[in-house]
Amino acid sequence: MQRNWEALVLKAMGGRNFRLTVLGAEPVGDGYRRLRVDGGGLLEACGVHPTMWIRLWFDNAGRAHQRAYTLVDPDPATGAFDLVFALHDGCAAHWASAAAVGDTIDATVQGSGFRWPDPRPRHVFAVGDAASLPAVNSLLDDAGDSPATVWLEYAHEHERALPVRARAGDTVTWLPRKDGGRLLLDTVKAGLPQSDGAYYWVAGEAASTRALARHLRKDLGVDKHRVSALGYWSAS
- Residue 4: the pLDDT is 61
- Residue 195: the pLDDT is 77
- Residue 173: the pLDDT is 97
- Residue 88: the pLDDT is 85
User: 135 phi and psi, to 5 degrees?
Assistant: -70, -40
Q: What residues contact 230, with CB distance under 8 A and at least 6 apart?
A: 202, 203, 209
- Residue 110: the pLDDT is 92
pLDDT by residue, tens only, the chain of 236 residues: 555 656 655 665 567 999 999 999 999 988 899 999 999 999 999 999 999 999 999 999 888 999 999 999 999 999 999 999 999 889 999 999 999 999 999 999 998 999 999 889 999 999 999 999 999 999 999 999 999 999 999 999 999 989 999 999 999 999 999 999 999 999 999 998 877 789 999 999 999 999 999 999 999 999 989 999 999 888 86
pTM confidence score: 0.91
Cα–Cα dist 153/127, whole Å: 8
- Residue 13: the pLDDT is 55
Which parts of 28-163 are beta strand (E)?
A: 32-38, 53-60, 63-70, 72-75, 80-86, 104-109, 123-129, 148-154
Helices 206-214 and 182-191: crossing angle, nearest 10°? 30
Query: Please, what are the domains in the chain?
Result: 11-109 (2.40.30.10), 123-233 (3.40.50.80)
The bridge status of strand 53-60 relative to strand 104-109 is: antiparallel
- Residue 193: the pLDDT is 84
- Residue 218: the pLDDT is 93
Q: What residues contact 179, with CB distance under 8 A and at least 6 apart?
A: none
Cα–Cα dist 22/31, whole Å: 19
Nearest to 149 by CA among 127, 171, 182, 119: 171
